[in-house]
Chains A and B, each alone.
Chain A
């Protein structure tokens, strides 16, 4: 009998590989870096760019809830595939369009893609991790790797898209995207979807909203941090959405758009790396970030030099990414775990809701007075973000960070230790550890103490033991269920 020790993450890795390949291929949208250039070629001006951004900003929140329901009731994998189909349709229509109206329709179909892929990948990774290891402990690691594949694809497509546009045409990048996304569909088809749909707790939209609202109005800290997250998200989105318009205004060559976009996208990852090294709890650091962002935003309204412009945008995007990560940490600390899902999706929805009027106004101002004048809107938004940042940091000072355990079992142990007693909700997480004699003596004593006084948990434990006994009987019978082992496949 051969004993080969295969580690669990390896079978998990094998299972998630097609998904990661699919996500990576889906990220290879070659037209993204030159989109604004192409749009001006087919007759867009700044105002209609604003309308287009508003159009898809309106589609996403509208479709997000129905797509979530579809994913839960039907299949996450097929919802992701539908998202790919929408991306193909959008690229095809975008590439074929010669008018503003046709392209706005393509952008709205792109909104369908955003709505369908939003959150779906996360929940699929989450359920797969739970199905392979029994808990969500390794979720962060694996969603991180999946996101890394995605962001690598963004950077790659930014570089490749610019080069492709230079040597062929901007229009061709749209058609070149289609086969890559079609390959992503094959990746998703080869992925074995988890069957554990009940693994993540579902929260209805109504209770989301109610919980978010209640948490918001009861705590000034949460309210200010929430607004900070939304305003920071809005501003960051505005830089990515309207930044390329400055390049168009200065008639930058097509080849520049690729590297420009790649650097802009990579600020997200760089910010993640930098955040651990920056002391954001110090006022000096916050002051530097605020001055830097204000200076770069004002620079955008004045400069006519391409290198200065690109540098200013990249620095602004980087600072905003750092602020956003910090803000989300403040939110994480200020909000109890039970409503965190609601509050953070509230922040996301708020971002979209704010972005819609902002992009319309931005486009209108740019149309009337030129892109540099709209730059002042960015500077104004920077001031708002700075004020909110200062208020949030001050308000958060008094709040002890809520350290939340990653898994239900860790949470049960921590709660029990803090409260010196065990509730039913915690007991059920510890039953297997109790039966395996893997609890600490202290927790074990509390477990048994709880059992003596609780009929419900006594029944629960008894029934679990009955199941275990019956499972043992089952496999001693002749027509037992065969254990299928991974080795038997070799």
Chain B
């Protein structure tokens, strides 16, 4: 059984333990990165745990997604995510092509896309609602 030293130390560190000495291995345990904030879902003590606290509000049917709003949201994405979003969703490239260009596996691309699209959806939705209130 081969276990790399890095992995060992990582296991040590990731357990969020303070191995007390002056050089405490200051490490915190991090919850997995979520696509949608966990606060948006009901808690264990609520009637429907893990279901929406409030449903995502449907967008006004008469309003299309504004390209400027979307462009702005795309520009605000972190650079590695923007690259994947533009190649995959914008230019419609295949996962294999994007793998060649970015080095991300197809599964990693899906992780990026899922989270990036959610940020875009949130931002565009915010803009639509804001405009709807204004006019």
Contact = CB atoms under 8 A, between A and B. Distances in A.
Given A134-B110, A144-B5, A269-B8, 14 more contacts: A131-B81, A134-B112, A134-B113, A144-B13, A154-B23, A229-B17, A233-B18, A272-B11, A276-B8, A348-B18, A409-B111, A423-B51, A459-B57, A471-B120
Contacts of B21: 236-237, 239-241
A109 to B, nearest CB: 14
A50 to B, nearest CB: 14
Interface residues of B, number: 93
Contact of A133 (B11, B38, B108): B108
Given A119-B28, A467-B70, A472-B89, A135 B16 contact: no
Interface in A163-204: 194-196, 198-201
A196 B77 CA distance: 9
A470 B23 CA distance: 51
B28 A432 contact: no
Given A327-B17, A436-B95, A144 B8 contact: yes
B48 to A, nearest CB: 8
B85 to A, nearest CB: 7
Contacts of B74: 471, 474, 481
Interface size on A, as a range, is: 35 or more
Select the residue from B52, B59, B87 with max chain A CB neighbours within 10 A.
B52
A303 interface: no
Interface in A463-483: 463-464, 466-468, 470-475, 477, 480-483
A140 B51 CA distance: 30
Contact of B27 (A143, A198, A347, A431): A143
Interface in B48-84: 48-52, 55-59, 65, 67, 70-71, 74-75, 78-84
Interface string B105-131: 111111111111110110011000000
A11 B104 CA distance: 10
A144 B11 CA distance: 8
Nearest to A142: B10
A340 interface: yes
Nearest to A132: B80
Nearest to A273: B8
